[in-house]
Structure 1
Amino acid sequence: MKIRFFFLLPLLISLVPTAPSLAAGDRFALVIGNAKYPDADAPLKEPINDARAVADELKRDGFSVELGENLTGDAMRRAFDKLYGKIKPGSVALVFFSGFGIQSARQSYLLPVDAQIWTESDVRRDGFSLETVLGELNTRGAGVKIALVDASRRNPFERRFRSFSAGLTPVIAPNGTLVMYSAALASVVSDAGGDRSLFVQELLKEIRVPDLMAEETLNRTKMGVTRASRGEQVPWISSSLAEDFSFIPGAGGSRPATPPPAPAPTPRPQIEAALPPPPPPVKPVDPVPAPSTDGGPSAAALADDPTIKSLTAKIAANPDDVNALYRRGQVYASKGAYSLAIKDFDDTLRINSKDVEALNNRCWTRTVVGDLQAALKDCNEALRLRPNFVDALDSRGLVNLKSGAVKNAIADFDAALKINPRLTSSLYGRGLAKQRNGSAQEGALDIANAKAMDPNIVQEFASYGVR
């Protein structure tokens, strides 16, 4: 699917009679900060502080606010249902979410802290579709629907799909909706490690400026984030508002004193001139010529792929952009360009030798191309850094299976299945290992169960050179 990036500037709204201003009681907000995901290496540092700061600001702006922290799936469902129940015709409904999000089937999903994500179908089962949330708010009669989503983080789930699925996807939202992501479509940013995210810092700064309509507030936020990050992080905005709306009721009314108003936004040509200039066109260069044993496509053959092209430009501008290197490695691996993927994982690990996800991905990729000794070393290091890392157990099981160490393979697949009994690759791999170890009947049962769960598993293993 071709990924397109849309960056919307403020809409020019014709002068038409506006609806009467909404009373404070007609503004409802649900603010969620999810930080403690068991699948992540450590709790995220920003979402809780960000959610509390946004909730406090919205209360000052006349919103009735519900604040949720580290919500499970059941708790998120109850929180959304409570918000839906408050909506009256013409209400303003705002959702702020900070945590992990992921795209699936062209929709963006917000993830609770207890999400069990192993396959892409699990995303749709455990996640909350932003489109569904906005649609329900519209059905309940909300006149203005606003979603502020700070979930464009490199998440711990995407590696499990053996494919590229980073970032969020465009929202097909009903009329009267304003949506903002903290980063561009299909892109991710790292948790900065501070008390607040750059996105929320700029958002709060602009919300406090009086006499701004909401679209202008968010566009100023976008410009602030873009400048502060030197073009590395560019938020995405989509608007279908049909009426004026301001975060500050009365626009300059009875609020406590605020900082001096920021300068009025400049016309579009000057705004664009103020942004950092885009990097010069870069002719992608094949970092490592694909060896004949690889058999996959070369860098030149993939140079026009829109995702690879974008990532290559980022790497050219900053060779130490670890997120871009890791993501391009994933894309290369998903397209069978294994030598190119290994090179990108090499560079990722040069920058951060303790990146267990990159170690696991390089282990798996090296296994596919038959570099089993190096692959085993990678998986062992990943498991040393994160014991019981299920993905590395699964990958090491494949290493042992290909190398003929079937007893070790069975032990690794057993350990992975204790953590996730639905991990089809471990179940199928264990079946093959059991058959090769002389337990034909037990192996056949594992294989049959795996094929029932995923009919494509046989073809997947064949692509790894395992039949």
Structure 2
Amino acid sequence: MSHFMRVAVAALLIGLTIAGSGTGSRAADAAKVALVIGNAKYPDNEFVLNEAANDAQDVAEELKRDGFAVDRQTNLTGDAMRQALDRFYARIERGSVALIFFDGFGIQSNRQTYLLPVDAQIWTEPDVSRDGFNLDAILGEMNVRGAAIKIALVDAGRRNPFERRFRRYSAGLAPVIAPSNSLVLYSTALGAVVGSGKTDRSLFVTELLREIRAPNISAEQALTNTKNGVVGATNREQVPWLSSSLTTEFAFAGTIVRPPDGNGPDKTPSKPELQKPEQQAVCKAAQPDAAPSPSELARDPVINDLTRKIGANPNDAVSRYKRGQVYAIKRAYALAMQDFDAVIRSDPKDAEALNNRCWARAATGDLQAALADCNLALQINPGLSDALDSRGLVNLKLGRTADAIKDYTGAIQRNPRSSSSLFGRGIASRRSGSDGSMDIDLAKSMDPNIAKEFAGYGVAECVP
């Protein structure tokens, strides 16, 4: 049994016996401790997440007003984040309320959510569990330390710079296996992401602060109202995920007013979800982001670090492959293919490198060469879902819609959360005369930027 599984099992068992967790018990007078983390400056990201730092400060100030002893931290490395969590655990008293707020980048792996420090070095799936912090384990440790109420508020469902290095889609966050008497709120739906905008405050935290300041309503109702507020403000484009096993009455602000009959908390009605107006479907062509200039690439810290390693060892195929991935993600396809060429010369049977070169060639329109790369990658590794996804793009651009649908379907069977494969299959279905709206809508719900990404490959969502 793994360490994380042991923690989760212990959390579930202890959660059944914590004093004061029975229905109707109160936590108004319990000690309240919080760890608030705003990770804004990830070197691998193109810009600073200003909203993460600002939101963390605003949340910390509000929690202090609500009686929490708050430790606010920003831009934590892995070591610093581990130390902050250890300090947080040490402050938890038996019967207390323990809350963690995290704003930054999160990622899921093996159906678990990981919160990422700013120095995370993630290039492959195993790197996630090595450098990330498992949310299930954090909640489990809060429970083991004796917290009667466990609360996790996570604004981390952003499209991040890490996932596309080892998968073709942004998978968002996974459901948490929380101990009893817990509240968990994500800013986005499970498996969905929102684009990282250059804003000063996030809508999610704006709604959250408004609701937890409201007096005399339960914490669970405040988070439900937060969810409904975001849903209404975005016309259902962003739907937060809420999980509750709370059986203890608790309010962020003040106490819960009970109705005259004394049967339970007086829960303020939640905000009505705004209904999306009926509109005639209009297809607006997405416009791709401009490719970075040579000077922008030259300033990229990840590229610079990899270039330094290659300069010290020209035979460093791993660094060349990683740099090729970064170039391809940034749409510097010519430079990406130079690196993939070098990797393939050193190992002609490197299926991952062949797949990535196929993808880069497909994006630039070198379709026959791309097809040869994808076919060879799948010959070497028939189960490589990313190569099926890449070949689907090639066939889509070649006008072979039946072959594209077959490739994308094969990729989806291996990876049902692939927004790239779902979107591609939806477009191929439309071009073949079928209705691909379900695939397209699902892909957009998981990745709001997927149409823009395909536009960068020369594939428009709109079908003439």
Normalization by structure 2: what TM-score?
0.60
Looking at structure 2, the residues matched to 101 and 416 of structure 1 have their Cα atoms a distance apart, in angstroms, of 33
Looking at structure 1, the residues matched to 54 and 76 of structure 2 have their Cα atoms a distance apart, in angstroms, of 15
Pairs within 5 Å for 1:332-371: 347-349=286-288, 352-354=289-291
Looking at structure 1, the residues matched to 211 and 180 of structure 2 have their Cα atoms a distance apart, in angstroms, of 24
Please name the residue that 1:271 is paired with.
Answer: 272
Please name the residue that 2:216 is paired with.
Answer: 211
Return the letter of the residue paired with 1:18.
G
Q: 377, 387, 408: which one pairs with 2:298? A: 387
Q: 129, 133, 152: which one pairs with 2:157? A: 152
Looking at structure 2, the residues matched to 426 and 85 of structure 1 have their Cα atoms a distance apart, in angstroms, of 39
Preserved contact between residue 189 and residue 240 of structure 2 (Cα < 8 Å): yes
Q: 43, 53, 56: which one pairs with 1:51? A: 56
Q: Deviations over 1:281-308 (max 9, x none)?
A: xxxxxxxxxxxxxxxxxxxxxxxxxxxx
Q: 1:386 to 1:94 in 2, by over 3 A?
A: same
Pairs within 5 Å for 1:375-414: 383-387=294-298, 414=310
The more displaced of 240-249 and 31-40 is 240-249
Preserved contact between residue 37 and residue 101 of structure 2 (Cα < 8 Å): yes
SS at match of 1:271: coil
| Unaligned residue ranges in structure 1 (runs of 5+) | 1-15, 254-262, 281-315, 321-346, 357-380, 398-410, 437-442
SS at match of 1:123: helix
Q: Deviations over 1:415-453 (max 9, x none)?
A: 6988x98448369997974996xxxxxx5xxx59xx9xx
The Cα of 1:384 is off from its aligned counterpart by 4.7
The Cα of 1:213 is off from its aligned counterpart by 0.5
Looking at structure 2, the residues matched to 180 and 317 of structure 1 have their Cα atoms a distance apart, in angstroms, of 33
Preserved contact between residue 102 and residue 167 of structure 1 (Cα < 8 Å): yes
| Unaligned residue ranges in structure 2 (runs of 5+) | 1-21, 259-266, 325-337, 357-372, 381-464
Q: 1:348 to 1:264 in 2, by over 3 A?
A: same
Pairs within 5 Å for 1:91-240: 91-240=96-245
Q: 1:413 to 1:34 in 2, by over 3 A?
A: closer
Structure with the bigger RCO (C-alpha within 8 Å, sep 6+) is 2
The Cα of 1:279 is off from its aligned counterpart by 7.7
The Cα of 1:319 is off from its aligned counterpart by 3.6
SS at match of 2:72: strand
Looking at structure 2, the residues matched to 279 and 83 of structure 1 have their Cα atoms a distance apart, in angstroms, of 50
Looking at structure 2, the residues matched to 78 and 28 of structure 1 have their Cα atoms a distance apart, in angstroms, of 16
Pairs within 5 Å for 1:249-260: 249-251=254-256
When the two chains are superposed, the root-mean-square deviation of aligned CA atoms in Å is 3.8
Q: 1:17 to 1:116 in 2, by over 3 A?
A: closer
Please name the residue that 1:23 is paired with.
Answer: 29
The Cα of 1:93 is off from its aligned counterpart by 0.7
The answer to whether structure 1 residue 463 and structure 2 residue 374 are counterparts is yes
Q: 1:177 to 1:157 in 2, by over 3 A?
A: same
Q: Deviations over 1:32-58 (max 9, x none)?
A: 001011011111120111001100100
Return the letter of the residue paired with 1:271.
P
The Cα of 1:192 is off from its aligned counterpart by 3.9
Return the letter of the residue paired with 1:84.
Y
The Cα of 1:105 is off from its aligned counterpart by 1.1
SS at match of 2:185: strand
Q: 1:425 to 1:208 in 2, by over 3 A?
A: same
